[in-house]
């Protein structure tokens, strides 16, 4: 069975500081990995995804993530955080077209940005 762990429930950073959100997954084969963002009162929006190829993937809003197979990790990074990045972030692992495209989501990390 696949699973996702986001070790940090809540992270606070100052505006302009760098950000790294951690994600560890458990999956038997090559995973499909995603990061989603949820602004208050909204649904989730995809930030970026990894299926294969280059292990450093670029996403929207200046985010990037690096797939590290040896560490079973897919950490999300941003070099300089903006106040508008305050939101909840979810890491997810999927199985591709098997299993009806189901993804398993982590419990989320809430990001607070200090002025």
Partner 1 sequence: DVKVTQSSRYLVKRTGEKVFLECVQDMDHENMFWYRQDPGLGLRLIYFSYDVKMKEKGDIPEGYSVSREKKERFSLILESASTNQTSMYLCASSSGTGDDEQYFGPGTRLTVT
List interacting residues with partner 1 (CB under 8 A): 9, 32, 34, 36, 41-46, 49, 51, 90, 92, 94-97, 100-103, 105-108
SS3 63: coil
Q: Whole-number minimum distance, CB 78 to partner 1, in Å?
A: 20
Q: Whole-number minimum distance, CB 41 to partner 1, in Å?
A: 8
Closest CA to 61 of 48, 74, 52, 75: 48
Q: How far apart are the first and last CA of the chain?
A: 41
17 vs 61 by CB, closer to partner 1: 61
Distance CA 100, CA 26 (A): 19
Q: Whole-number minimum distance, CB 9 to partner 1, in Å?
A: 8
């Amino acid at each position: 069975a696949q699973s996702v762990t986001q070790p940090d429930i809540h992270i606070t950073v100052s505006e302009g500081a760098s950000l790294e959100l951690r994600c560890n997954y458990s999956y038997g084969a090559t995973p499909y990995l995603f990061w989603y963002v949820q602004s208050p009162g909204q649904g989730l929006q995809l930030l970026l995804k990894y299926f294969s190829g280059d292990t450093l993937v670029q996403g929207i809003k200046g985010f990037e993530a690096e797939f590290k197979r040896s560490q079973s990790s897919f950490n999300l990074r941003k070099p300089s955080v903006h106040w508008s990045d305050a939101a909840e972030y979810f890491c997810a692992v999927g199985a591709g077209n098997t299993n009806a495209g189901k993804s398993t989501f982590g419990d989320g990390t809430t990001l607070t940005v200090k002025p």
